């Protein structure tokens, strides 16, 4: 049975998409149209009752959900790809940075910008919520820039944390939030990776590649 990957182009699932390609895995991709509400249809809820993306269905039919869980599973299942540092100290640092990208930059910052109504039902509050989200993103990117000081990647080499940071950098670039110099360099470096270029082309973002 081939692995099945449920994703939305240009979303957080892009980070998992590029990790799948970095691992050289064969999989079937299924697009979940979030704007159309596909994530709430019974067919998808049977796969992922959380109604979220990404989801990765393994060969035995087990469904993995949540960005951090899928990324960690890939890193541990395919150790030759070195998606985690070898030392426990290095692994913990990478997990911390990945979770910060997912749960602060994305869930607290960009979510306020992209899904403002979830945080403020009244349209009168939308601009202030978006501004708060932008401030969270800017503060978060400043923190990541400090972590990147003197480094090409968040660890000594490319890891799952870089995939998480990348999709947030991609969003910032798309909506015009300036990246700190270290994050901008990281983003441009990521775009030179063959797996990233393949994923962006497949997801319809070839223009980003220059």
Domain range list for the chain: 3-81, 88-193
Q: How many residues does the chain have?
A: 210
Tokens 């441009």 belong to residue: 188
Check whether 43 has a pLDDT greater than 90.
yes
Helix (H) or strand (E) holding 31: strand 27-31
- Architecture of the CATH domain 3-81: 3-Layer(aba) Sandwich (3.40)
What pLDDT sits at residue 147? Answer: 98
pLDDT digits (tens, 9 = 90+) for 128-151: 999 999 999 999 999 999 999 999
Looking at per-residue confidence, does 208 or 14 come out higher? 14
For the domain bounded by 88-193, which CATH number is listed?
1.20.1050.10
Mean of all residue pLDDT scores within the chain: 96
What pLDDT sits at residue 121? Answer: 87
Looking at per-residue confidence, does 173 or 209 come out higher? 173
In whole angstroms, give the CA distance from residue 163 to residue 70. 12
Query: 54 CB contacts (<8 Å, ≥6 apart)?
Result: 5, 6, 7, 11, 12, 13, 16, 17, 65, 67, 70
pLDDT digits (tens, 9 = 90+) for 65-116: 999 999 999 999 999 999 999 999 999 999 999 999 999 999 999 999 999 9
Check whether 158 has a pLDDT greater than 80.
yes
- 200 confidence band (pLDDT: 50, 70, 90): very high
Integer CA distances (angstroms), 116 to 36, 133, 134, in order = 18, 9, 12
Give the 3-state secondary structure of residue 32: coil
Integer CA distances (angstroms), 152 to 25, 108, 127, 140, in order = 25, 26, 35, 18
Rg, C-alpha atoms of the chain: 17
Check whether 210 has a pLDDT greater than 80.
no
Cross-sheet strand order for the sheet of 3-7 = 27-31, 3-7, 55-57, 63-65
What pLDDT sits at residue 79? Answer: 97
Tokens 């990765």 belong to residue: 56
Instruction: Calculate ∠ Cα 76-78-81, nearest 5°.
Output: 110
CA 191 to chain CA centroid, Å, is 14
What pLDDT sits at residue 116? Answer: 95
Share of the chain above pLDDT 90, in %: 94
């Amino acid at each position: 049975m081939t692995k099945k990957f449920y994703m939305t182009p240009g979303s957080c699932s892009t980070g998992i998409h590029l990790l799948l390609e970095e691992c050289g895995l064969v999989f079937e991709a299924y697009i979940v149209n979030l704007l159309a509400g596909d994530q709430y249809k019974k067919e998808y809820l049977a796969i992922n009752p959380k109604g979220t993306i990404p989801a990765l269905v393994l060969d035995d039919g087990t469904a993995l959900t949540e960005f951090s869980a899928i990324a960690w599973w890939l890193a541990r299942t395919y150790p030759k790809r070195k998606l985690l540092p070898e030392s426990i100290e290095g692994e913990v640092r990478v997990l911390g940075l990945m979770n910060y990208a997912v749960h602060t930059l994305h869930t607290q910052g960009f979510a306020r910008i992209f899904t403002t109504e979830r945080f403020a039902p009244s349209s009168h509050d939308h601009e202030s919520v978006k501004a708060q989200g932008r401030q969270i993103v800017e503060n978060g990117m400043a923190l990541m820039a400090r972590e990147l000081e003197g480094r090409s990647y968040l660890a000594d080499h490319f890891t799952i944390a870089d995939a998480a940071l990348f999709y947030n950098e991609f969003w910032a670039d798309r909506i015009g939030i300036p990246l700190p110099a270290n994050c901008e360099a990281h983003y441009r470096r990521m775009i030179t990776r063959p797996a990233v270029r393949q994923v962006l082309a497949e997801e319809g973002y070839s223009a980003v590649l220059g």
